[in-house]
Structure 1
Amino acid sequence: VGSGNIFVATAKKLLYGTVDIDMIAGPSEILIVADDTANPKYAAADLMSQAEHDKLASSVLITTSQRVADETVKEIERQVADLSRKDIINTSLDNCGAIIICDDMDKACEIANEIAPEHLEVLAANPLEYIGKLTNCGSLFLGEYAPEPLGDYYAGPNHVLPTSGTARFFSPLSVDSFIKKSSYIYYTRDKLYGAKEDIVRIANRERLTAHANAITVRFED
């Protein structure tokens, strides 16, 4: 029922709620951060494990070692010949593949965090030390015996992951994604009075005087 600009409505009780679990999904991505101890054979294999998804898949190696970079390219050329999806792999690597050489691992981590890949592997002497340094990724794979397909097919964490850089602000699908939450607020009169001046000041700065009034009206004599 409408009366002027004030409306009163009656709604049926909702029996079921909905939870939004959408995310940007695909094309697939892998980024490998590697120091000079990395095995180029493993790096090449892992890059191609994502390149075979489709021609737009992104496979990137960031390393501190020119030797690792050069040998990884040779390993790709050697291994790809025996793979069933070699045409897709080669096109994917040509279109969306890259090798970046950095002065040190700190710079490598900085670039990796900026790219924020779906899958992020660490091939380094002490991979566990990069927990907390590599913070923008869908899933982090630590060490030469944690290749990306382990996450696809067998390891525990859910493998519905953010892509296209959204790992900078979005998380993998998890139990929390299916939970709808609400916050709650309760203040006593004294507590609200203690915050009154700050709230009114902010509201007035925004020229939202009705906001300010909703606070001050409670303290009128």
Structure 2
Amino acid sequence: MLRIWRFPSPESQAFLEAIEQRQVSLPAELTEQVAQILDDVRREGDAAVLRYIREFDGVDLTPEDLRVPPTELQRLADQAPQDVVTALQQAADRIRRFHEGYRLSSWGWDDGRAWVGLQFRPLDVVGVYVPGGRAAYPSTVLMTTLPARVARVPRIVVCTPPRRFFEQPVLAAALRLAGVEEVYLVGGAVAIAAMAYGTATIPRVDKIVGPGNVYVAIAKRLVYGQVAIDAIAGPTELLVLCDETAQPAWVAADLLSQAEHDEHACVLCFTTSMNHAEAIAAEVVRQVEFLATRTTIEAALARGGIVVFDDRDAMVEWANRIAPEHVQVMTDGAEEAARRIRNAGAVFVGPLSSVVFGDYWAGANHVLPTAGTARFASPLGVYDFGRWYSWIRIHPPGVGAAVGVVERLAEAEGLPAHAAAARIRAKG
């Protein structure tokens, strides 16, 4: 079920290089279809939105039906199982506390000649996409809305497909915990278009965040520049770095936890012993038998594998080259090994630190860079919901100090009007 290679065999290197080169798959044949949807919504507004809802979701709505009334949100939230609501509340408390650690205060320095600094301001309107596929993810609702709340975004707009929303009261419960009341019943690329361009009913937003299917991913890529986006997210990824000190049953359980997300999930294990690798693979076979998500898991496992390294330095080097969404370090001296990981969306240190605790409870954001983008990208956070701008005030002594510098550099660049604008202030 999980293939095993010993590094540096040609087969192992070919496997690792293929993983390193992975990309988010956005089929070209779908791009034209999505582009047409975006153009229709941009030109026709609500009329196109309602037409596509009828076509894709089989639901006839009017413009007045698009927004879920706050009273209906409250009614739905009240139907959520109380034990789930309690768990969501505990998760929300930790997520909020973690994100309140971001420093949002403006700052600068004054040398007597000028005050130069940065000011932080929240975005005016943020759009959050909540998918309506086979599973509801209230935890992702919290992870995408609570940081926006901490950033003091005054208006948060949520779009979600109409057919499933009323069947998933846990989503309404999560929205209530986050204090979000503006929810529109539109999904897929149509929702992305509506939030990017605005309609008579659905407001234009400054940034769109949240996961979705391939149509959502393509739409987000196409509207980028019209609005900001969080990322083009790929399937979930987990790399477990371990040695014989790690219990095979624990490693297997963690691999299965991420494999059940998506048949395209990428689950990998690097270990230092062939016997250990075989024990982990056997545990995977044993544990998967009892899981309702077995079909999805087995499809994902067929894409993954275990690689046995004799050289721990090579193991860490390949972890950094792959730059996974999640790296779990379960070795002797895990803290030291984890500090050598440079490229990852999140690093889980030690055998107790299962990736699932990060999915739901720890508090750090679980919206993370995938497909190798952890080489340059960061987790979703408070700073994603605002922007910084420079704040500059020149004092009288600064004019005399600056004018000579400005004159020389402006003239060197062939910009005489720049030099003149500085000189005119020096003359008073």
Instruction: State the number of aligned residues.
Output: 198
Distance in 2 between the 1:122 and 1:199 partners?
A: 53
How far residue 155 of structure 1 moved from its aligned partner, in angstroms, is 1.3
State the partner residue of 1:30.
238
Given that 1:120 and 1:139 are in contact with CA atoms closer than 8 Å, whether structure 2 keeps it comes out as: yes
Offset from partner CA, 1:27-81 (integer Å, 9 cap, x none): 1111111123222211111111111112100001112222221211111111111
Offset from partner CA, 1:13-40 (integer Å, 9 cap, x none): xx94634352122311111111232222
Distance in 2 between the 1:90 and 1:82 partners?
A: 13
* Gap runs ≥5 in structure 2: 1-122, 126-205, 208-227
State the partner residue of 1:104.
311
- Residues 39 and 191 (structure 1), Cα distance of their counterparts in 2 relative to 1, 3 Å cut: farther
Given that 2:235 and 2:262 are in contact with CA atoms closer than 8 Å, whether structure 1 keeps it comes out as: yes
Q: Aligned pair 1:59/2:270, yes or no? A: no
Distance in 1 between the 2:407 and 2:267 partners?
A: 55
Given that 1:35 and 1:105 are in contact with CA atoms closer than 8 Å, whether structure 2 keeps it comes out as: no
Structure 1 residues 55-64 or 100-109, which shifts more? 100-109
Distance in 2 between the 1:32 and 1:116 partners?
A: 12
Residues 33-112 of structure 1: pairs in structure 2 closer than 5 A? 33-94=241-302, 96-112=303-319
- Residues 48 and 215 (structure 1), Cα distance of their counterparts in 2 relative to 1, 3 Å cut: same
Structure with bigger helix share is 2
Distance in 1 between the 2:244 and 2:407 partners?
A: 60
- Residues 83 and 180 (structure 1), Cα distance of their counterparts in 2 relative to 1, 3 Å cut: same
Q: Aligned pair 1:146/2:357, yes or no? A: no
RMSD after superposition: 2.6
**Identity of counterpart residues, as a percentage?**
39
Q: What amino acid is aligned across from residue 287 of structure 2 in structure 1?
A: Q
TM-score, L = length of structure 1: 0.78
How far residue 183 of structure 1 moved from its aligned partner, in angstroms, is 2.5
Distance in 2 between the 1:169 and 1:192 partners?
A: 38
Distance in 2 between the 1:118 and 1:29 partners?
A: 5
* Gap runs ≥5 in structure 1: 1-14, 204-208
Q: Aligned pair 1:163/2:374, yes or no? A: no
How far residue 194 of structure 1 moved from its aligned partner, in angstroms, is 4.3
Offset from partner CA, 1:72-101 (integer Å, 9 cap, x none): 11111111111111122111111x202222
How far residue 106 of structure 1 moved from its aligned partner, in angstroms, is 2.2
